[in-house]
Amino acid sequence: MSVKISFELKATDGKARTGVISTPRGEVRTPAFMPVGTAATVKAMMPESVRATGADILLGNTYHLMLRPTAERIDRLGGLHKFMNWERPILTDSGGFQVMSLAGLRKLTEKGVTFKSHIDGSKHELTPERSMEIQRLLGSDIVMCFDECPALPADRDRIADSMRLSMRWAERSREAFGDRPGHALFGIMQGGLEKDLREESAEALKAIGFEGYAVGGLAVGEGQAAMFDCLDYAPGFLPEDKPRYLMGVGKPDDIVGAVKRGIDMMDCVLPSRSGRTGQVFTRHGVVNIKNARHADDPRPLDAACTCPACANYSRAYLHHVFRANEMISGMLLTWHNLHYFQEIMAGMRAAIAAGTFDSWEADFHAQRAQGDIEPL
């Protein structure tokens, strides 16, 4: 792959941006929501079904894939795209966030992190160099720097030390990544909710130089108001001509608020995880399909939605198969949630291009505030 990955900013409306990330495996329209394919699958979905929802790019998980089936095995079998039958772009995270969440099972040093597998207790080491090697073996199009992400709240000294360690690791990641035409490396800004630390982190990353930049260390327990306060300034510290990725976000109103503040890419397990637990996101708010009020309801989840769950099945049926623990429940509700999230992204892209983002956002919130349709 000799073609470089590039980003073209097409239009802005306030801080909101729309553009295109061009890769050898296809274009990614921004703002983009990336469904999470943790273990080389978006749970309960076929890859072609994920594409049918409107997704241009998926996220794969370095930590989970290095443990099972291993990056080396995936490489021998032709790389992650072939392995999971997804020929469009894939972004892989670095494994840092998952290792952070192991807490008692890990040991952190300047070199990297040693940890015990949550699967079988075996010992592993993850360093910037090893993370870059794993992501190269996987063959992902967009690679993330290895970073350390402290859970919030944390004291300022802990956040500062962690951020500076992540910046040293970013430099090592850049060096280990090497020259890989057709692939991109994104740096990750840290600094918690401290404005000066965010700026220091951004300056360090820009000095190293990356093809894109993530805002990391949010959606880790700080709450929406604090996250939005940070996003009011953090994206502005990053280069305008590169994509900006908010990691691990989020609920529909989180996503809209992030795009309003200048974010181009997001990912979250929420639409798929919620689909498997009977929680459905609609333009009129959240529906819990497990509730008894749906048992005799012949209406669709959302009459305006064109996904298979809404086009072909009643609330009564979706309630029944969830209660009966049938596999089709998770399949249909996940498809619906992913379809709705991609519908939000398409709506924002069109509104930004037309210069009508504020009115689109007002309509979005007004519809959600109406709540679900009245029970029969």
Residues identified as active-site: 93, 267
**Secondary structure (DSSP) of 112-180:** -EEEE-TTT--EEEE-HHHHHHHHHHHT-SEEEPP---PPSS--HHHHHHHHHHHHHHHHHHHHHH---
78 is in an annotated binding site: no
**Secondary structure (DSSP) of 171-234:** HHHHHHH---TT-EEEEEE--TT-HHHHHHHHHHHHHH--SEEEE-S-SSSS-HHHHHHHHTTG
**Secondary structure (DSSP) of 263-332:** --EEEESHHHHHHHTTEEEETTEEEETTSGGGTT--S-S-TT--SHHHHH--HHHHHHHHHTT-HHHHHH
117 is in an annotated binding site: no
56 is in an annotated binding site: no
Q: How far apart are CA 284 and CA 298, in angstroms?
A: 18
149 is in an annotated binding site: no
Give backbone dihedrals phi and psi of 139, rounded to 5 degrees, phi first. 85, 20
26 is in an annotated binding site: no
96 is in an annotated binding site: yes
Q: Indicate the burial class of 316 (C-beta count within 10 angstroms; 0-12, 13-18, 19 or more).
A: middle
Q: Give which of 282, 290, 280 is closest to 332, Cα–Cα.
A: 280
305 is in an annotated binding site: yes
336 is in an annotated binding site: yes
Q: Which two tokens stand for residue 95?
A: 């494994």
94 is in an annotated binding site: yes
Residues forming the annotated binding site? 93-97, 147, 190, 217, 305, 307, 310, 336
Residues forming the annotated binding site for substrate? 93-97, 147, 190, 217
